[in-house]
């Protein structure tokens, strides 16, 4: 044979597949494990961020409902115009429009009775949540007084407050009294 180990014309030498050595198998297994762990870590990180965002939104809904309930139950004859403005500034939709229509007559009744009410939230909890809307149950203790009845026993009010997320802020969109 010549210097070259070329097979004679027309004959092919069989190609023998190279087998992975033990080191190759370990490297391949490590690469697969790394990709799997990186994928799992990415998925878990995404879920964590998503859960935190969801939790923050739910907290925002509950806090908006709490403040809305306080706004609705804390009204004084001396500050009724500011109190009404505060309610309108933190509401939206049909609730806002209905309250705005009745605001002047409501203010007049409060002024004539020289009444005052102060509400405090005793408990609040998210009832349901879908997308950018939520329903929050709120229990209030409301202390009322007027010239005719200066000291009254606090009453308990239960409300279901609808909240609508709009951009960075959430607003009261509905109020229903619950028995």
| Alpha helical stretches, state H, the chain | 22-73, 80-89, 93-113
Residue 148's pLDDT is what?
81
Specify which residues 117 forms β-bridges with.
Answer: 75, 144
Please report which confidence band the pLDDT of residue 167 belongs to, taking 50, 70 and 90 as the band edges.
Answer: confident
Reading across the β-sheet that carries 169-177, which strands appear in turn?
Answer: 75-76, 116-130, 133-145, 155-166, 169-177
The answer to whether the CB of 136 falls within 8 A of the CB of 121 is no
- 123: helix, strand or coil: strand
Question: What average pLDDT does range 62-89 have in this prediction?
Answer: 97
Question: What average pLDDT does range 29-56 have in this prediction?
Answer: 86
Residue 139's pLDDT is what?
98
Question: What average pLDDT does range 157-168 have in this prediction?
Answer: 93
The answer to whether the CB of 152 falls within 8 A of the CB of 173 is no
* Tens digits of residue pLDDT in 89-127: 999 999 999 999 999 999 999 999 999 999 999 999 999
Between 37 and 123, residue with greater pLDDT: 123
Please report which confidence band the pLDDT of residue 56 belongs to, taking 50, 70 and 90 as the band edges.
Answer: confident
Please report which confidence band the pLDDT of residue 179 belongs to, taking 50, 70 and 90 as the band edges.
Answer: confident
Which whole-number Å values give the CA distances from 134 to 97, 129, 130, 156, 165, in the listed order? 19, 4, 6, 23, 9
Residue 40's pLDDT is what?
87
| pLDDT > 60? residue 1 | no
DSSP character at residue 125: E
Domains defined along the chain, listed by start: 61-177 (3.10.450.230)
Q: What is the pTM assigned to this prediction?
A: 0.74
Q: What is the CA radius of gyration of the chain?
A: 34
Specify which residues 120 forms β-bridges with.
Answer: 141
Please report which confidence band the pLDDT of residue 17 belongs to, taking 50, 70 and 90 as the band edges.
Answer: low
């Amino acid at each position: 044979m010549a210097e070259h180990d070329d097979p004679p014309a027309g004959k092919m030498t069989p190609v023998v597949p190279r087998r992975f050595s033990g080191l190759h198998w370990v490297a391949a297994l490590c690469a697969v494990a790394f990709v799997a762990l990186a994928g799992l870590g990415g998925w878990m990180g995404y879920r964590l961020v998503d859960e935190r965002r969801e939790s923050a939104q739910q907290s925002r809904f509950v806090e908006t409902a709490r403040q809305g309930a306080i706004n609705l139950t804390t009204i004084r004859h001396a500050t009724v115009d500011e109190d009404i403005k505060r309610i309108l500034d933190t509401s939206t939709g049909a609730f806002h429009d209905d309250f705005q229509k009745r605001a002047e007559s409501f203010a007049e009744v409060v002024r004539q009775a020289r009444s005052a009410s102060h509400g405090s939230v005793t408990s609040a909890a998210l009832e349901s949540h879908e997308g950018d809307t939520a329903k929050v149950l709120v229990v209030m203790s409301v202390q009322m007084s007027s010239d005719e009845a200066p000291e009254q026993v606090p009453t308990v009010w239960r409300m279901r407050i609808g909240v609508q997320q709009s951009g960075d802020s959430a607003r009261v969109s509905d109020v229903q009294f619950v028995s």
